[in-house]
Amino acid sequence: MITSPFRFDTELSSADFEKLGRLLLRGSHIDHMIANCLKLQLNLDEDQAKVMIFPLTTELRLQRMNELAKLKALPSGKAANAFQQLRVVMKGIKAIRTNVVHAVLIKGDFTLRSKGDRTFTMEQIFESEELTNYAGILALTLRHELGEPDPDYSPPDPLPVRPPVPAFLKSYIGS
């Protein structure tokens, strides 16, 4: 096996790599559920969704879902609440995911040059875990309310209260 030439391989612990991977995978699944929610709103089959929905960015998916919800209300108050909360928290989740995936590690911090040197520390990224879990609950709830329940998951009733927004994400999400 060819040895990695990167310093960060020894600067990050196995636990750090594991937690980063877990957060990224959760974010990917949330994004996938959002796509499925738009697919349900449009009543598309899987092949149609692969052409029309899955190539869209998360932001565009949420925007289209919002536009559709204005034309035809979501099926329940719970769906509407989950969707509105999801739209808000995904702004912060997106910033974190983008930084972790596309940034470079400079002195232990994730720095994204294409976003004006936007930098998140490892602690900040890990601090977003509760918000990521909350977004997952919202996405699963919305998908459930739109008519595609997960056989292994029942959405909580009522939805949990949104966890406190970490200070570093308030510029993306608000209070």
The answer to whether residue 90 is domain-embedded is yes
Whether 36 is covered by a domain: the verdict is yes
| Angle, helix 14-42 to helix 129-145, in steps of 10 degrees | 20
Nearest alpha-carbon partner for 43 in 18, 68, 80, 21: 68
Helix (H) or strand (E) holding 70: helix 58-71
Give domain status of residue 91, yes or no.
Answer: yes
Q: Indicate the burial class of 62 (C-beta count within 10 angstroms; 0-12, 13-18, 19 or more).
A: buried
Say if 3 falls within a structural domain.
no
Which residues pair with residue 119 across a beta bridge?
111
Query: In order along the chain (175 residues), what is the average pLDDT of each group of 10 residues?
Result: 91 94 96 98 97 98 98 97 98 95 92 93 96 97 94 90 95 87
- The predicted structure's pLDDT at residue 89: 97
Q: H or E segment at 142?
A: helix 129-145
- What is the span of the domain harbouring residue 141? 11-173
Say what the pLDDT of residue 174 is. Answer: 83
Residue 126 CA to residue 163 CA, distance in Å, equals 14
Instruction: Answer whether residue 1 is part of any domain.
Output: no
Does residue 111 form part of some domain? yes
Q: Domain tally for the chain?
A: 1
